């Protein structure tokens, strides 16, 4: 048993764009377990856009990440020591273990969840069959709720959330149009994920140009939009939105560094009688079992595909995270910790 | 029987701000009735902000007002000649009679509706117990749906729609804060309509200043907002919106002349998990009976108050309409045609 843990802390808050200097790697001794606790060797750390928001010290839906503490993050791993009667050594678990190699967890329900890796690979519980997949499921089914033949647009379409949104929409008989950065991602979105079309947003410098591309890709207009990005993409989509269209607002990565990202024509909400709703999946736990059942079944049937970018070792986490914010990842961004 | 009708047509489309030159008064003979038709002497014409949108030749939820035709508009009046077995001479009716003194109407349901003026004055069917009142009812009950103790903000609070929104919200136990232009309107909103507070938006040149005033007026934040105006008022409200707050988007008069009115921080929709929904009351006819029942009962009980600005004579309609767009009216803007 290693007696030392390696952890990455938030060292300082970014002014605008974050850098590796905002993080600090430390080595700390692993404490002895108290009654009821378990020691987990984290195998994979999930990197997600929401973490950027937590780095700021501003009002948001969640408390800011405290300085000099272990960065928040979802993890999957294996129990290596247990003083809980709910977990045994060797159990595979998913939880919010943070940016560190080991975590000492209270073995309470909600903090750690045992998962079955017979049919689903461990790290999928951080992606398509985990929080990102459930995020996709909630926004698509509870806000966009597409009817067969309707058109659904998804930004960040090759990402952990967007890739699932599009596949769930196809399962429901919708026409699905993705937006992604670069030809390689667009090819993947169409040929591997089965979207009808994917637009490379990098070819479109403004909302007008992107809106023209959307007009071609969506000949019947847009009925639902799953928003991961914001900025000109939102404006362009709104210009093509149909009456009674729905926008599920899940992320607005375009403004995470404080850039202003106004919505240019909010009157379109009225003109098109649109519904726009922001949501945070962790506030809708009552849907998790239903979502996980569908996602797990689709995966087992080979109808839920995804891609992963895996960075090697805890040290690589800050660089991988900054890359995620710039869209340098391809699919779900993970850090392999073992 | 007068054989001549006087009508106001749309003569030209406005470039930016409309003027009286966009309208033309004409005299035309009243045609003989065909079987099933009725001739109505219009007593009151309703002037409403939506008419500004119809003057443009742009995509919106309704077809543009055709040039050289009678301006669209709601009217109440009296049947003066009938070849319909559904209407008798002397019946009071409400319908979309347009900007004219007489209308020849097919006596079909949906085009003309007979109303009872025993307990409710005829012109109230153009206001609190008509389309504006139902608009208020729909947005408040079906979108904002306030719980007792929640805070609801209403823009254009002394107007035909806003005044009803606030009173319905008070009936439901909400704290109600109005926004209106000028001290006289604000006094009326509080002392006559019973709102808790009314803010004079003219005292606040920007969203930051208005947001500070809203902070004072809404110590527990804002749970629901009924939007009649747009622009900086929307931005200011969003800065004070609570988690899970709702915005019913009914009108955006701030941008009717083509001025850009961007929403500055759409990320607040996500941060506060807001729902924003645009609606047009004519698309929700299934709610009209329920709405009219509540509005009529409240009026009869003396618990639905409103104010009217009445312009005299058809000739005064264009000037009164332009005044409405600038907020020069006080309460429901009508034109008395008799």
- Radius of gyration for chain B, computed over Cα atoms and rounded to the nearest angstrom: 20
**B276 vs A275: CB contact, 8 Å cut-off?**
yes
Calpha distance A153→A157 (Å, rounded): 9
Q: What is the pLDDT of chain B when averaged over all its residues?
A: 95
The pLDDT, as a whole number, for residue B58 is: 78
The pLDDT, as a whole number, for residue B2 is: 52
Calpha distance B163→B151 (Å, rounded): 16
Q: Which helix (H) or strand (E) holds B276?
A: strand B275-278
The pLDDT, as a whole number, for residue A94 is: 96
Q: How far is CA A60 from the centre of its chain?
A: 17
Calpha distance B97→B111 (Å, rounded): 9
Reported as a single tens digit per residue, the pLDDT across A264-313 is 999 999 999 999 999 999 899 999 999 999 999 999 999 999 999 999 99
Calpha distance A172→B103 (Å, rounded): 50
The pLDDT, as a whole number, for residue A110 is: 77
**B273 vs A278: CB contact, 8 Å cut-off?**
yes
pTM of the model: 0.93
The pLDDT, as a whole number, for residue B3 is: 78
Calpha distance A224→A152 (Å, rounded): 5
Residues whose CB is less than 8 angstroms from the CB of residue A328 and which lie 6 or more positions away in sequence, other chains included: none
Reported as a single tens digit per residue, the pLDDT across A16-29 is 899 999 999 999 99
Calpha distance B41→B92 (Å, rounded): 10
**B272 vs A contacts (CB less than 8 Å):** 61, 278
Reported as a single tens digit per residue, the pLDDT across B312-336 is 999 999 999 999 999 899 999 999 9
Strands B175-180 and B151-154: parallel
- Of all residues in chain B, the percent with pLDDT exceeding 70 is 99
DSSP B263: B
CATH classification for the domain delimited by B4-127+306-336, as one of 3.30.70.20, 3.90.180.10, 3.30.70.360, 3.40.640.10: 3.90.180.10
3-state class of A108 per DSSP? Answer: coil
Contact of B249 with chain A, judged by CB distance below 8 Å, is answered with yes
Structure tokens given for B9:
């047509």
Structure tokens given for B49:
């902000």
Q: What is the DSSP string of B2-36?
A: --EEEEEEE-S--SSS--GGGEEEEEEEPPPPPTT
Q: Are A129 and A292 a contacting pair, CB within 8 Å? A: yes
The pLDDT, as a whole number, for residue A46 is: 97
**A270 vs B264: CB contact, 8 Å cut-off?**
no
The pLDDT, as a whole number, for residue A256 is: 75
Shortest distance between the Cα of A260 and any Cα of chain B, in A, equals 7
pLDDT at A71 over 90: yes
Reported as a single tens digit per residue, the pLDDT across B132-186 is 999 999 999 999 999 999 999 999 999 999 999 999 999 999 999 999 999 999 9
The pLDDT, as a whole number, for residue A206 is: 95
Residue of B nearest to A61 (CA): B271
Residue of A nearest to B279 (CA): A273
Q: Which helix (H) or strand (E) holds A152?
A: strand A151-154
The pLDDT, as a whole number, for residue B109 is: 77
- ∠ CA A139-A144-A148, nearest 5°, is 125
Neighbours of B302 (CB within 10 A): 7
Shortest distance between the Cα of B308 and any Cα of chain A, in A, equals 26
In chain A, CATH 3.40.50.720 sits at 131-282
Under CATH, which architecture does the A131-282 domain have? 3-Layer(aba) Sandwich (3.40)
Q: How many CA within 13 A on the CB side of residue A165?
A: 37
- Find where tokens 């890709």 sit: A217
3-state class of A254 per DSSP? Answer: helix
- Find where tokens 């200097």 sit: A21
Residues 6-25 of A with CB under 8 A from B: none
Contact of A145 with chain B, judged by CB distance below 8 Å, is answered with no
- Find where tokens 């049937």 sit: A301
Contact of B142 with chain A, judged by CB distance below 8 Å, is answered with no
pLDDT at A2 over 80: no
Reported as a single tens digit per residue, the pLDDT across A96-121 is 999 999 999 998 877 899 999 998 99
Contact of A63 with chain B, judged by CB distance below 8 Å, is answered with no
Reported as a single tens digit per residue, the pLDDT across B253-312 is 877 777 889 999 999 999 999 999 999 998 999 999 999 999 999 999 999 999 999 999
In chain A, CATH 3.90.180.10 sits at 4-127+306-336
The pLDDT, as a whole number, for residue A199 is: 98
Reported as a single tens digit per residue, the pLDDT across A238-248 is 999 999 999 99
Q: What is the pLDDT of chain A when averaged over all its residues?
A: 95
The pLDDT, as a whole number, for residue B273 is: 97
Neighbours of A289 (CB within 10 A): 9
**B269 vs A contacts (CB less than 8 Å):** 249, 276-278
The pLDDT, as a whole number, for residue A62 is: 77
Reported as a single tens digit per residue, the pLDDT across B196-251 is 999 999 999 999 999 999 999 999 999 999 999 999 999 999 999 999 999 999 98
The ipTM assigned to this model is 0.92
Q: Are A213 and A204 a contacting pair, CB within 8 Å? A: yes
Structure tokens given for A164:
């699932």
- ∠ CA B149-B151-B154, nearest 5°, is 140
Q: Are A71 and A50 a contacting pair, CB within 8 Å? A: no
Residue of A nearest to B143 (CA): A275
Cα–Cα nearest to B230, from B199, B251, B211: B251
3-state SS of A3-59 is CEEEEEEECCCCCCCCCHHHEEEEEEECCCCCCCEEEEEEEEEECCCHHHHHHCCCC
pLDDT at B60 over 90: no
Contact of B139 with chain A, judged by CB distance below 8 Å, is answered with no
The pLDDT, as a whole number, for residue A78 is: 98
pLDDT at A1 over 80: no
Alpha helices in chain B (DSSP H): 50-55, 131-138, 160-171, 183-191, 207-217, 232-239, 267-271, 288-300, 317-325
Q: What is the DSSP string of B87-132?
A: --TT-EEEE---SBSEEEEE--TTTEEE---SSS-GGGGGTTTSHH
pLDDT band (50, 70, 90) for residue A187: very high
pLDDT at A72 over 90: yes
Reported as a single tens digit per residue, the pLDDT across B95-118 is 999 999 999 999 887 789 999 999
Structure tokens given for A73:
């993050």
**A274 vs B contacts (CB less than 8 Å):** 276-278
Structure tokens given for B132:
């504006």
Which residues are bridge partners to A94 per DSSP? Answer: A76, A113
Neighbours of A186 (CB within 10 A): 23
């Amino acid at each position: 048993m290693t007696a030392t843990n390696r952890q990455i802390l938030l060292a300082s808050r970014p002014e605008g764009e974050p850098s590796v200097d905002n993080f600090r790697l430390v080595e700390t001794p692993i404490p002895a377990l108290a009654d009821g606790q378990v020691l987990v060797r984290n195998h994979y750390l999930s990197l997600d856009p929401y973490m950027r928001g937590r780095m700021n010290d501003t009002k948001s839906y969640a408390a800011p990440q405290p300085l000099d503490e272990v960065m928040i993050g979802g993890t999957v791993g294996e129990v290596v020591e247990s003083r809980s009667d709910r977990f045994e050594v060797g159990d595979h678990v998913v939880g919010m273990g943070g940016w560190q190699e080991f975590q000492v967890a209270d073995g309470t329900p909600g903090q750690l969840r045992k998962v079955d890796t017979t049919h689903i690979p461990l790290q999928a519980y951080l992606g398509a069959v985990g929080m990102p997949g459930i995020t996709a499921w909630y926004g698509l089914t509870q806000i966009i709720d597409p009817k067969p033949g309707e058109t659904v647009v998804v930004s960040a379409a090759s990402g952990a959330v967007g890739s699932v949104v599009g596949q769930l929409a196809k399962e429901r008989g919708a026409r699905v149009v993705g937006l992604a950065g670069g030809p390689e991602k667009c090819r993947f979105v169409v040929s591997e994920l089965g979207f009808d079309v994917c637009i490379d947003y990098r070819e479109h410098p403004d909302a007008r140009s992107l809106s023209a591309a959307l007009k071609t890709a969506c000949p019947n207009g847009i009925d639902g939009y799953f928003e991961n990005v914001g900025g000109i993409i939102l404006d362009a989509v709104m210009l093509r939105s149909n009456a009674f269209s729905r926008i599920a607002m899940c992320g607005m990565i375009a403004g995470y560094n404080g850039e202003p990202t106004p919505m240019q024509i909010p009157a379109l909400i009225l003109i098109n009688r649109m519904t726009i709703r922001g949501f945070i999946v962790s506030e809708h736990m009552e849907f998790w079992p239903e979502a996980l059942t569908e996602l797990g079944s689709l995966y087992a049937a080979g109808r839920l595909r995804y891609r992963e970018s895996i960075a090697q070792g805890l040290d690589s986490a800050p660089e991988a995270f900054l890359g995620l914010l710039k869209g340098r990842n391809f699919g779900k961004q993970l850090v392999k910790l073992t």
